[in-house]
Amino acid sequence: MPGPDEEAHAPASDRVRVRRGAIRAEYDRAAILEVLDAGLIAHVGVVTDSGPIVLPMAYGRSDDWLYLHGSAANAALRAAAGRDVCVTVTIVDGIVVGRSPFHNSMNYRGVVVRGTARSVDDRTEHVEALRLVSDHVVATWETGRAPTELEIRKTMVIAVPLVEMSAKIRTGDPIDEPEDLEGPHWGGHVPIRSVWEPAVPALDLHDGVEVPPAIRSLDGRLV
Amino acid sequence: MPGPDEEAHAPASDRVRVRRGAIRAEYDRAAILEVLDAGLIAHVGVVTDSGPIVLPMAYGRSDDWLYLHGSAANAALRAAAGRDVCVTVTIVDGIVVGRSPFHNSMNYRGVVVRGTARSVDDRTEHVEALRLVSDHVVATWETGRAPTELEIRKTMVIAVPLVEMSAKIRTGDPIDEPEDLEGPHWGGHVPIRSVWEPAVPALDLHDGVEVPPAIRSLDGRLV
């Protein structure tokens, strides 16, 4: 019988169990959501009549749902509604250089969410989901011009349950062969540092419009 | 009959035609390869018995093939061999803030490659592919310890033809509604700047091992 600690760290389903590098698996809900909150875009996999397609999409989340949005004419989004999808969010933190290229790797934080996508048709949830996606990276919903009815209707939203999911996190050094440690080859890692640069006003922005505080506060912050 | 210019900029197949935001589509081979060469990781979509799965993977390329590698025990890689896959590479360059959140977007460079993955079994191509993947981000193959026979055999490689592919590139300002331009709302974009930090030696690195020039030269360079 698994102890309480093992139970808390088991995947919700077998299809989101991390198989390769299982030592880096993370099934703790808070840790998974932390990676989702830090990511910028998701890569969404859908099966179409012409094979699998993987497209980058903006996303947002509530406590229970991951939301994706797009044009109501978006074929991949329409194909996803009611079907199994895989939503993958990956943040690359750097490269790992082993003594042998065989042990090269990357440092990263990644989440995989699998589940059946649901078309969001309820008006209140639809608008709230648009806000969550809009505000995921930086909160612009409140300071922007409110969306019109037409804009809302033109935007399709699908929801994936935050249930079947797992994270995989790698940090630090390569794991080299013991017999290579005394050899002449270098091992280590090279971090990537991503920061927000100053906001660039649109060429057609008229004078006297202030940069919203949420956007101004990004300047120099780590992405 | 399409003119020569249109022919040169047509997709290789209908399933890699960019449908949404077609004005940002790029079918020029050199432009597509430039994005592939700039990317760090690919998100690879495969159809499994339990639905689509999208996993982040390192990659490399020759003139004609995109190579992916992984453990010979990697279930997703094994599932991909001989089947349709979608390989998507996305570089996020910043966020785009519209006067209305409806016109929020991202600036990015992205490529989608679709095709039937081939298991690479030829010994020469297998080793060359491992070198191409290893050297994709930074060349470490020559300065590292040479791979052993066992390491080579433990690493599976699949190849996807660089034929059915398209890029989508977005830069610059939001495209707002004309009637919003005189309003009180801000519009513009916020670039992300990603740089390589100084290389961090492994904790178990013994004294006197120099950082290889290719790795040292990353320091401060844009990713």
DSSP assignment of chain B: ---HHHHHTS-SSGGG---TTGGGEE--HHHHHHHHHH-S-EEEEEEETTEEEEEEE-EEE-SSEEEEEEETT-HHHHHHTTSEEEEEEEEEEEEEE-SSGGG-EEEEEEEEEEEE-EE---HHHHHHHHHHHHTTTS--TTTSPPPPHHHHHHEEEEEEESSSEEEEEE-S-----GGGTTSS---EEEEEEEEEPPPEE-TTPPTTPPPPHHHHTTTT-B-
Please determine, for residue A195, whether its predicted confidence score (pLDDT) is greater than 70.
Answer: yes
CB contact under 8 A, B51 and A86: yes
Q: Which of B48, B85, B215 sits opposite A190 (nearest CB)?
A: B215
- Range B169-198 average pLDDT: 97
pLDDT digits (tens, 9 = 90+) for A130-180: 999 999 999 999 999 999 999 999 999 999 999 999 999 999 999 999 999
Q: Quick one: pLDDT at residue B3?
A: 45
- Range A172-201 average pLDDT: 97
pLDDT digits (tens, 9 = 90+) for A198-223: 999 999 999 999 999 999 999 999 99
Q: Quick one: pLDDT at residue B19?
A: 87
Flag whether the pTM goes above 0.90.
yes
Higher pLDDT, A74 or A6: A74
Are the C-beta atoms of B87 and A33 separated by less than 8 Å? no
Q: Quick one: pLDDT at residue B62?
A: 98
Please determine, for residue B129, whether its predicted confidence score (pLDDT) is greater than 50.
Answer: yes
Q: Quick one: pLDDT at residue A2?
A: 44
Residues 120-179 in B contacting A (C-alpha not used; CB under 8 Å): 130-131, 134, 137-138, 140-141, 143-148, 151, 154-155, 173-174, 176
pLDDT digits (tens, 9 = 90+) for B99-120: 999 999 999 999 999 999 999 9
Q: Quick one: pLDDT at residue A91?
A: 98
CB contact under 8 A, B147 and A209: no
Q: What's chain B's average pLDDT?
A: 94
Q: Which residue of B has its CA nearest to A219?
A: B190
pLDDT digits (tens, 9 = 90+) for A20-67: 888 889 899 999 999 999 999 999 999 999 999 999 999 999 999 999
- Range B57-67 average pLDDT: 98
A107 at interface of B, judged by CB pairs closer than 8 A: no
**Position B4 confidence tier, pLDDT thresholds 50, 70, 90:** very low
Task: Work out the minimum CA distance from B182 to partner chain A, whole angstroms.
Answer: 7
Task: Work out the minimum CA distance from A166 to partner chain B, whole angstroms.
Answer: 12
A201 at interface of B, judged by CB pairs closer than 8 A: yes
CA dihedral B54, B59, B63, B64 (to 10 degrees): -30
Q: Quick one: pLDDT at residue A7?
A: 44
pLDDT digits (tens, 9 = 90+) for B79-90: 999 999 999 999
Q: Quick one: pLDDT at residue B105?
A: 96
Please determine, for residue A5, whether its predicted confidence score (pLDDT) is greater than 70.
Answer: no
Please determine, for residue B7, whether its predicted confidence score (pLDDT) is greater than 60.
Answer: no
Q: Which of A73, A95, A191 sits opposite B138 (nearest CB)?
A: A95
Q: Quick one: pLDDT at residue B121?
A: 96
B194 at interface of A, judged by CB pairs closer than 8 A: yes
Probe site for chain A from B46, B86, B169, B195 (most A CB atoms < 10 A): B86
- Range A100-114 average pLDDT: 97
Please determine, for residue B6, whether its predicted confidence score (pLDDT) is greater than 80.
Answer: no
Q: Quick one: pLDDT at residue A20?
A: 84
Helices marked H in chain A = 4-8, 29-38, 75-80, 123-134, 149-153, 213-216
Residues of chain A neighbouring B67 (CB-CB closer than 8 A):
none
pLDDT digits (tens, 9 = 90+) for A64-102: 999 999 988 888 899 999 999 999 999 999 999 999 999
B19 at interface of A, judged by CB pairs closer than 8 A: yes
ipTM: 0.95
Please determine, for residue A9, whether its predicted confidence score (pLDDT) is greater than 80.
Answer: no
